[in-house]
Amino acid sequence: MSNVDVDTGTVRVERTFEASAEAVFDAWTNPEVLRRWWKADPGHEVTIPVLDLRVGGGYRLEMRRPEGGEDMVVHGTYREISRPDRLVYSWEWEGTGPNANHESEVAVSFMEDAPGRTTVVIEHVGLLNDESRANHARGWNGVLDSFAGSGIPR
């Protein structure tokens, strides 16, 4: 289950795993997982020059495309580390994207609904910078809903 709120620039994603909260939390923070996740293509060269899992510690992920071009880079700082319940970190794209050099926040909650079953909720908040959000204002969803009803492919 997931949704995108374009009014607030929030992305919410949820999924349930057949594992304990500790196992999921540890997997989430595992450098090997980060490295695999970032590899959109087997040819991509992924480096994690910084990964300091403690409050105030930073991380940095870099993906180099084999064909060249601009690296995809994101960095941030860990703000809350409560194993195995919750992980909060800042998130900032580098480069030229619409939110480059704009800090957003990722909050990951790990809830063990039953022994060996954990629901993870990711909330990526503040994805749009102030200008985008102000320009965006309300009504965008209404426009999109109208698109949905108008037969325009989306």
Residues that bind another protein (CB under 8 A): 2-4, 6, 9, 11, 13, 15, 17-19, 23-24, 27-28, 30, 32-33, 36-37, 40, 96-98, 120, 122, 124, 127-128, 132, 134-137, 139-140, 142-144, 146-147, 149-150, 152-154
Element at 38 (helix H, strand E) = helix 31-38
C-beta closer to another protein: residue 11 or 57 = 11
Indicate the residue among 77 and 121 with the shorter CB distance to another protein: 121
Residue 43 token pair: 């040819």
Tokens 């040819």 belong to: 43
What's the rounded Cα separation, in Å, for the pair 148 and 125? 25
Q: How far is the CB of 49 from another protein (least distance, A)?
A: 19
If the CB atoms of residues 9 and 76 are measured against another protein, the closer one turns out to be 9
Nearest distance from C-beta of residue 46 to another protein, angstroms = 12
Give 152's contacts (C-beta < 8 A, 6+ positions apart).
none
Q: Which residue has the tokens 């200008």?
A: 131
DSSP bridge partners of 5:
10
Q: What DSSP designation does 18 have?
A: S
Judged by CB, which is closer to another protein: 46, or 57?
Answer: 46
